[in-house]
Amino acid sequence: MDHDAPLTPIHVIQGESAFSPFAGKTVKVRGVVTGRGRKGYFVQSEERNTNPRCSDAIFVFSPRRKAKVGSFVELTGRVLDYVRDEGGRPTTQLKLFEAIILEETGPEVSPIWLNNALLPSDATKLAQTLNGLEGMLVGIEAGAVFTAPSNPYGDYVCVPKDVVAARASNGGILVDPEHPSRWFPGFRIVNRSAAPKLNVGATLLQPVTGPLNYRADAFQIVARSAVKFENAQVPYSQVSFEAREHATTILTLNGFNLDAHLEDLSLVESRRDVDDDVRYGRFELLAKAIVEQADSPDIIALQEIQDNDGAEITDVVDATDTYKQLAKDILFLGGPEYAWADIPPARGADGGQPGGNIRNGFLYNPTRVAIEAGSLRRLGDNSEAFDGSRKPLMARFKVLSSGAFLDLVNVHLASKRHQKSIFSPEQPGFDPREPVRIAQAQLIRRALEDRQDSVDYYVTGDFNDFEFSPTLRALCGEDGFNMVEALEPNERFDYNHRGQLQVLMHGVVQRSAHEEGRVSYQILHGNELTGVKPGADTCKASDHAYVIAQIKVSA
């Protein structure tokens, strides 16, 4: 141990980039303890440096011994650039050798308030700003609005009251096409038992302060105190279409890895893959959405349906038990007796949760519609674009009241999960799966063009991309129209990603069907806006809102 290391001002440790020029060196620093996390604490110099790109603070890695918040300490340790994942942004840490408490109560450190002036929408400028604040005491002032619902981990996102951004009908923030990965400040409550359940639109009643930490590919405040807020009530919207003779209704619903089986821990890849969707009430909640919000539609296009034994890694691929449980709960609530149809994937071939064999499927009311014999098929089985990805499910439905037909394509395109953070040192914001989604959309477009007749079509599901994306432009082509664009701009959202409301579910029809007024479209809000109790088993029905269309099919 180097007890004679020179006293180093904290502000030079961070440097002007994400990587520290002092990495690997032993240093001695002094500062005030400003907050504590699960694996250590934060120390900040009492004097602010003049370079806005250099932080005056550092995280001290010390899982077992944590200094008291507010104390003034002298620390000796080695500077590390900790990188959790290859290619990720590092966080500068001090691996502690020795800690000396100089004063039980040190100088007061004032927080830097995160507001509109400090938070540019441009990702490069924002990264520079936040890099210079890493580890430092920052805060969100009272009056901020919560734009993400509470999650199981005690994470929250707030938008300061002076931030200028497009607002949704509920007061949340809509994704900006010019800056789709824009960052808004948030915080984590380390003690989940003290973390409240709250909804989008809740108001922060007193400031939240804490050190600015970098985790999970984003910056986040480590909250130092309890949160006082005024919650927002979230109504669950209901379908509002006027009844039309011979019209067909189609609900799009993401099942969120739905299965009716409690997994055996010895048969799954990770403990996190064990859940009990029946006991959590998720089937009942989805059934309520179908019967009460959507008024028992004729067809339900389902995504993320898992097989009979859920995430257990076995040879099972059949999902009959999952469909039976959902149909049973629908019938119990007064809905119709739905039939179902899918084509199971090969074992482990279509991605998703290991062992789950998720797929797209249909529930349908056999007194209203019927699947034409031989029309049910998967698209992209032999396409490189769909290698390891969920295959679209296509079927031709006959509307029994009129004899007309509708070609329905149910999709779940490649995930955004591999997209790089806007704070990544290399290719910030790059989405390697976007070209894959475009290729998938082009294949679906060709399947529609290759049909030998002019039957109406409807393409719906989880596209994992925005209405203004190249993916949706490729799928719509010349004659297609995305019904999302018929909605008022402040209603265009079905998913909440880190506090930004966005559209990932879509409904594409022939442009002529839209122009002739034969299609109505609505997003049934509520589910994507309500929080869950941190630390508890989630009973959230889905991570998306639900989408419903009414189509008067041309005979």
User: Could you state, in order of their start, the residue ranges of all structural domains in the chain?
Assistant: 11-103, 112-230, 247-552
Q: Give the single-character DSSP code of 227.
A: -
pLDDT tens for 484-526 read: 999 999 999 999 999 999 999 999 999 999 999 999 999 999 9
pLDDT tens for 285-305 read: 999 999 999 999 999 999 999
Q: Give the single-character DSSP code of 178.
A: T
Taking the complete model, does pTM exceed 0.85, yes or no? yes
Architecture of domain 112-230: Beta Barrel (2.40)
Q: Give the single-character DSSP code of 125.
A: H
Show the tokens assigned to 245. Answer: 């003779």
The rounded distance, in Å, linking the Cα atoms of 19 and 93 is 11
Helices (H), 369-433: none
CA angle 181, 527, 307 (to 5 degrees): 95
Res. 16: pLDDT tops 60 = no
Looking at per-residue confidence, does 123 or 186 come out higher? 186
CB < 8 Å & 24+ apart, contacts of 150-153: 150/195, 150/196, 150/197, 150/198, 150/199, 150/531, 150/532, 150/533, 150/534, 151/531, 151/532, 151/534, 152/532, 152/533, 152/534, 152/535, 152/536, 152/538, 153/188, 153/192, 153/534
Show the tokens assigned to 503. Answer: 């559209």
Strands, DSSP E only, in 147-291?
155-159, 173-174, 186-188, 203-204, 208-215, 218-222, 229-230, 247-258
Assign domain 247-552 to a CATH class.
alpha beta
* Spacing of C-alpha 12 from chain mean position: 36
Three-state DSSP state, 136: coil
What pLDDT shows up at residue 1? 38
pLDDT tens for 144-178 read: 999 999 999 999 999 999 998 999 988 899 999 99
Which helix or strand (DSSP H or E) is residue 524 part of? strand 519-524
Show the tokens assigned to 244. Answer: 């039309």
Inter-residue contact 140 to 187 (CB < 8 Å): yes
Inter-residue contact 205 to 199 (CB < 8 Å): no
What pLDDT shows up at residue 5? 64
Looking at per-residue confidence, does 83 or 377 come out higher? 377
Write the CB contacts of 495 (distance below 8 Å, at least 6 apart in sequence). 501, 502, 503, 504, 505, 528, 543, 544, 545
Phi, psi of 164 (to 5 degrees): -95, 120
Looking at per-residue confidence, does 328 or 6 come out higher? 328
pLDDT tier at 410 (50, 70, 90 boundaries)? very high
Res. 67: pLDDT tops 70 = yes
Res. 255: pLDDT tops 80 = yes
CA angle 158, 61, 36 (to 5 degrees): 40
Give percent above pLDDT 90 in the chain.
79
3-state helix, strand, coil in the chain (%, to 5): 15, 30, 55
pLDDT tens for 414-453 read: 998 888 888 887 888 889 999 999 999 999 999 999 999 9
Chain-wide mean pLDDT for the chain? 93
Looking at per-residue confidence, does 3 or 501 come out higher? 501
Three-state DSSP state, 414: coil
Show the tokens assigned to 423. Answer: 């704070």
CB atoms within 10 A of CB 17: 12
The least confident of 187-196, 305-314, 462-471 is 187-196
Write the CB contacts of 332 (distance below 8 Å, at least 6 apart in sequence). 287
pLDDT tier at 2 (50, 70, 90 boundaries)? very low
Residue in 116, 109, 120 with CA at minimum distance from that of residue 140: 116
pLDDT tier at 215 (50, 70, 90 boundaries)? confident
What pLDDT shows up at residue 17? 58
Give percent above pLDDT 70 in the chain.
97
Q: Give the single-character DSSP code of 10.
A: T
Check if 11-103 and 247-552 are the same fold: no
Write the CB contacts of 373 (distance below 8 Å, at least 6 apart in sequence). none
What pLDDT shows up at residue 58? 93
Show the tokens assigned to 87. Answer: 């290619």
- Note the CATH number of domain 11-103: 2.40.50.140
Show the tokens assigned to 463. Answer: 């596209």
User: Going by DSSP bridges, is the β-strand pair 186-188/91-103 parallel, antiparallel, or unpaired?
Assistant: unpaired
User: Going by DSSP bridges, is the β-strand pair 155-159/203-204 parallel, antiparallel, or unpaired?
Assistant: unpaired
Q: What is the mean pLDDT of residues 100-125?
A: 91
The rounded distance, in Å, linking the Cα atoms of 231 and 129 is 31
Res. 6: pLDDT tops 70 = no
Burial of 488 by CB count in 10 Å (0-12 exposed, 13-18 middle, 19+ buried)?
exposed
